[in-house]
Amino acid sequence: MKPDNRSYEYLIKHFTEKEIKDRFLVIYNGAREYIQQAGISECTAVNEFIIDEILLDYYADIDRLKDFHNIELAEPKKVAAYTSYWIQKRKPIQLIKNPDEETLRKYPQINWINENFAISILFSMAFDMAKPPLVPAGILIRLTEFQKSLRYYFTFRHVNAQMLELLLKGIDVLPMYPSITAEA
């Protein structure tokens, strides 16, 4: 008889409670910081339950991949790609009231709050943005332009996690920031 996998308890066995809790903190706290930094905390909120769902979907995906591809630990670009994918799919940041005129003027991107957050996660979880960039500021503008194109894709095209992972590996051919690693 196959084991009961209708609950997600197996994820705690496979990934450990500490790992899942630590990852939850990255995403949940990151989303709360995002709405603060973007100046939209008055009219938006981070939905904790949707963050739960994002992490369940993410870990269920990675669990299947680890089994098929014989992976011990997923590499950071895979982590970033699959997390970002589920954020743009699940949309954890919700409008809780209509933005006023001033907010709309200050934050014209309010239609794409989740897409912008997914992009922030994609790049910040794959590359160490706390370290100095590897290229001059003039070149970094290209990364912003690319992120805006990606936002269009998130909004109007079909996106999948594998494509995001390949995209990150493509950027790593000539990286603009160091890859994120546990080492110093």
Partner 1 sequence: MSYKYDEESINAAERFIERIKNKTFKKQYQPNSSRKYPNEKASNSLKSFFESDQFKALLSDNEA
By CB under 8 A, name the binding residues for partner 1. Answer: 19, 22-23, 25-26, 29-30, 33-34, 37-38, 65, 68-76, 78-79, 107-109, 111-112, 116, 119-121, 123-125, 127-130, 140-141, 143-144, 147-148, 151-152, 155-156, 180-182
Number of Cα atoms under 13 Å in the Cβ half of residue 154:
28
Tokens of 113: 């709050």
Of 37 and 94, the one with the shorter C-beta distance to partner 1 is 37
**Cβ of residue 35: shortest distance to partner 1, in angstroms?**
10
CA distance 95 to 110: 9
Closest CA to 106 of 158, 41, 156: 41
Q: What is the torsional sign of CA 162, 167, 168, 173? A: positive
**Cβ of residue 10: shortest distance to partner 1, in angstroms?**
19
**Cβ of residue 14: shortest distance to partner 1, in angstroms?**
14
Of 6 and 110, the one with the shorter C-beta distance to partner 1 is 110
Supply the DSSP symbol for 182: S
**Cβ of residue 114: shortest distance to partner 1, in angstroms?**
13
Tokens of 10: 């197996």
**Cβ of residue 133: shortest distance to partner 1, in angstroms?**
9
Of 2 and 18, the one with the shorter C-beta distance to partner 1 is 18
CA distance 65 to 62: 5
- What count of residues does the chain have? 184
- The SS3 of residue 93 is strand
Of 79 and 159, the one with the shorter C-beta distance to partner 1 is 79
